């Protein structure tokens, strides 16, 4: 069965099921992308921060060379990292991702977080721990406002480098500020969404503005390195296990289907061939309304992904949504 598409406000179609590449290690992600393309994935979600775009690019190049896909068949997303909020760095950062991916345009480019930081002396050097210590151990906020960054993002569209632009991890107030200056409305907002964090109000707000929503960490990121022993885990939740048994599916398949049935783009991550295939095997069923409601009732504001640095002026997660 074909992956459903969502038409963005730019007129381009985005496959609603994609492969996430966050935490996909070097030596693993190339084969994972090849396996995903063979299975039928056409949407690959990437980011500068993941430090694996060059390897993703190798996989894409090989599959195009083998005539498995053409570039036009693929929807490639990348993201502007927090140390590139200086408008003068935006195009260079975009071109870096394009070069690593081996393409001459991106389908979607997002501002990864609203929080901006000063770059390292070598702005493209790999950061040892970007979530705790930013360039050279500093945590000094960028002097640049993300609305100025947005204007620089618009120039990427005008130059033909990017087809659609958007944001990630922005709250309503921050999104409103972008909308206040935008001549190009964000096409996408990518946010954490799973049953422990349904993000319903922010999703509804984005839709009211014509902005599509991508759900990242749809499985609750059970392999996140900062997970603490004893924390609730969607994979082990008996309420989800019961629903999975009803449909003769796995819990991950139920979670992916839950996102799709909410009309969200969803980007589960895996580097294991069978799991990549299993995550794609969600197109032959839909959840009944009673099960959708039961899954939604698991809401507990259980956010698992947070850049940290809550003292930053643009920290997004204090607001209700």
Segment 143-170, tens digit of pLDDT? 999 999 999 999 999 999 999 999 999 9
β partners of residue 45 = 20, 77
Question: Does the pLDDT at position 94 exceed 60?
Answer: yes
Question: Does the pLDDT at position 139 exceed 70?
Answer: no
| Tokens (6 digits) for 41 | 């994935």
CA–chain centroid gap for 181, Å, is 24
Q: What is the pLDDT of residue 124?
A: 87
Q: Give the mean pLDDT of 169-183.
A: 98
Which CATH superfamily, name and number, covers 5-226+263-271?
Answer: NADP-dependent oxidoreductase domain (3.20.20.100)
Active site residues: 50
Question: Does the pLDDT at position 137 exceed 70?
Answer: no
What's the whole-number average pLDDT of the chain? 94
Ordered by start, the domain boundaries in the chain are: 5-226+263-271
pTM: 0.95
Question: Does the pLDDT at position 130 exceed 70?
Answer: no
Please report, rounded to a whole number, the percentage of residues in the chain having pLDDT higher than 70. 96
| Residues 115 and 309 sit within 8 Å (Cβ to Cβ) | yes
**Between the CA of residue 39 and those of 66, 107, 127, what are the distances in Å?**
15, 21, 33
Q: Give the mean pLDDT of 190-211.
A: 98
Q: Give the mean pLDDT of 227-233.
A: 78
Residue 13: name the closest of 68, 75, 79 by CA.
75
């Amino acid at each position: 069965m074909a992956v459903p598409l969502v038409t963005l406000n730019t007129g381009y179609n985005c496959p609603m099921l994609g492969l996430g590449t966050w935490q996909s290690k070097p030596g693993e992600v190339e084969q994972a992308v090849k396996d995903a393309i063979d299975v039928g994935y056409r949407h690959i979600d990437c980011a500068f921060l993941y430090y694996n775009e060059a390897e993703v690019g190798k996989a894409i190049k090989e599959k195009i060379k083998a005539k498995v896909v053409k570039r036009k068949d693929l929807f490639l997303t990348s993201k502007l990292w927090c140390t590139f909020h200086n408008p003068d760095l935006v195009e260079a950062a975009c071109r870096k991702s394009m070069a690593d991916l081996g393409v001459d345009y991106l389908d979607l480019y997002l501002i990864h977080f609203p929080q901006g930081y000063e770059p390292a002396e070598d702005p493209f050097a790999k950061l040892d721990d970007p979530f705790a210590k930013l360039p050279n151990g500093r945590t000094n906020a960028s002097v640049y406002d993300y609305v100025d960054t947005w204007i620089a993002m618009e120039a990427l569209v005008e130059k033909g480098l990017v087809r659609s632009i958007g944001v990630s991890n922005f709250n309503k107030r921050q999104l409103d500020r972008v909308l206040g200056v935008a001549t190009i409305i964000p096409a996408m907002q990518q946010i954490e969404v799973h049953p422990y964090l349904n993000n319903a109000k922010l999703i509804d707000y984005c839709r009211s503005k014509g902005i599509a929503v991508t759900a990242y960490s749809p499985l609750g990121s059970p392999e996140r390195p900062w997970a603490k022993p004893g924390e609730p885990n969607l994979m082990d939740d008996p309420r989800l296990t019961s629903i999975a048994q009803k449909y003769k599916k796995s819990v991950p398949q139920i979670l992916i289907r839950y996102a799709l049935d909410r009309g969200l783009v969803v980007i589960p991550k895996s580097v294991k061939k069978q799991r990549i295939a299993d995550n794609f095997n969600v197109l032959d069923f839909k959840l009944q309304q009673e099960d959708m409601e039961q899954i939604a009732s698991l809401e507990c504001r259980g956010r698992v992904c947070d850049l940290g640095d809550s003292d930053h002026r643009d920290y997004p997660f204090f607001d209700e949504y």
